[in-house]
Chains A and B, each alone.
Chain A
């Protein structure tokens, strides 16, 4: 392995990691601002102009708070849980293609940390690992509310992963590949062969199911039952304080960022944007513009997550299970069947 390759990847990994952390930190501010605006308030505005230093103040507060480890808890697992939550949240971004190849001199640099041919499976695996952090947190706290929260989280994630996987199968039938890079490349431009090239336009139902499931996987409202504060105090992180609590809250926002990135890549063309091939710009500029467009899409989805949070109230637990098992799973199976018929008929025509 050549040295430049290693340097290139290290730089890419650090940049992506820093961007992820920055976006997660500022998502907390954005969430409070958006909540304020929707409710006719202004949100945090005291720390710096428009409250831009609020995330730093919050982070500083988290650092200096007392860390309480309950005497009846399992200290090893109690400390391992937030680490695991943070880890599984942040490794998901490794396979996302951030842009087209950039050519510097005679070197072609891929804007993707790991171009593996099973990118979707990897994402799926990481997402299903995410529940371990929450489960271990609930179990090791030795608190009934924490345990209830984590049991809810586990059953909710397992239920919605099925529907999520089935909705992805329909997508894979269309794209014929598991590699996220190839999926992004297939959605080149905006209009191809007389139809929109973005997968959303041939898999709208699949996208809807994926969207609902990713809300459930991120434990966001209307599916935030694991931490429903009016029943379970704070759910799985009831016993956590200080920086460990911060790690849980942070991992929720990182999850949101990663799943927004995955949704943009799978269904909304990733780094592709309309008329990208007709502008007559050089490949590098197109690549940079593509990165910006991908981030615009990601920011839109993060905004959408927050917008939904301050609009839709929380589901009851039986409604959540009904929706998962009796609506989304049959719907996604029907989607697979319809997609299969459509692919066959299209080939015959």
Chain B
């Protein structure tokens, strides 16, 4: 059939010439190529000391944000947990008590907020779903650990550092 792409190439197997049969010229050619590679630039990135350049919208570990007064933005509405396709997020809501106004922005807050990092696929849908701009995937890599329970990140690891006075 006629080729539509115009890139059809009929290959034919020719019997090898003497030069190809003795194989040594091709070995010499290969040796020359590998020898050239010895002097080329190395591609190695020395990981713990040196990081690969990340893109602007790189999605790393999650962080729960605070507002400009240092109050937690999360209101435990559960939209992130609903949006999460991997079912990685759980939370428990609690009511803000008197005297806690400096800690939480609104009357409701997340008493427990857990992300199972082994389930998380770093898709960023929680970030998109959040109406309060409370969660962002702006952290570093997920580090290795030994136990499954250590991959369930609670508020102690997720919430941003409080503002410095």
Contact = CB atoms under 8 A, between A and B. Distances in A.
B37 interface: yes
B30 A41 contact: no
Contacts of B38: 34, 37-38
Interface in A37-91: 37-42
Contacts of B34: 38, 307, 310-311
Interface in A296-349: 307-308, 310-312
B37 A40 contact: yes
Nearest to B22: A327
A307 B40 contact: no
A307 B37 contact: no
Contacts of A311: 27, 30-31, 33-34
B35 A307 contact: yes
A36 B44 CA distance: 10
A38 B32 CA distance: 11
B19 to A, nearest CB: 15
Nearest to A313: B30
A163 B38 CA distance: 33
B43 interface: yes
A256 B153 CA distance: 54
B37 A42 contact: no
Contacts of A37: 37-38, 42
Interface in B7-66: 27, 30-31, 33-35, 37-38, 40-44
Given A40-B43, A41-B44, A312 B37 contact: no
Interface string A6-49: 00000000000000000000000000001011111110000000
Contacts of B43: 40-41
A40 B38 CA distance: 7
Chain B residues touching A, range? 10 to 19
B75 to A, nearest CB: 48
B117 to A, nearest CB: 28
A39 B40 CA distance: 9
Contacts of A40: 37, 40-44
A312 B27 CA distance: 7
Nearest to A310: B34
A308 B35 CA distance: 10
Most chain A CB within 10 A, of B31, B34, B37, B41, is at B34
Contacts of B40: 40
A41 B40 CA distance: 10
B42 A42 contact: yes
Contacts of B35: 307
Contacts of B33: 311
Nearest to A304: B31
A42 B31 contact: no
Contacts of A38: 34, 37-38
A42 B42 CA distance: 7
A198 B84 CA distance: 76
Contacts of A312: 27, 30
Contacts of B27: 308, 311-312
A38 B34 CA distance: 6
A308 B34 CA distance: 9
B43 to A, nearest CB: 5
Contacts of A310: 34
Contacts of B41: 40
Contacts of A42: 42, 44
A326 to B, nearest CB: 12
Nearest to B40: A40
A39 B30 CA distance: 13
A149 B91 CA distance: 59
Contacts of A39: 37
Interface in A216-273: none
B20 to A, nearest CB: 14
Contacts of B31: 307-308, 311
A214 to B, nearest CB: 16
A329 to B, nearest CB: 16
Q: What are the nearest 3 A-B pairs in CB distance?
A: A311-B34, A37-B38, A311-B30
11 contacts: A34-B38, A37-B42, A38-B37, A39-B37, A40-B42, A41-B44, A307-B35, A308-B31, A311-B33, A311-B34, A312-B27
Given A37-B37, A41-B43, A307-B31, 14 more contacts: A34-B38, A38-B37, A39-B37, A40-B40, A40-B41, A40-B43, A42-B42, A307-B34, A307-B35, A308-B27, A308-B31, A310-B34, A311-B27, A311-B30
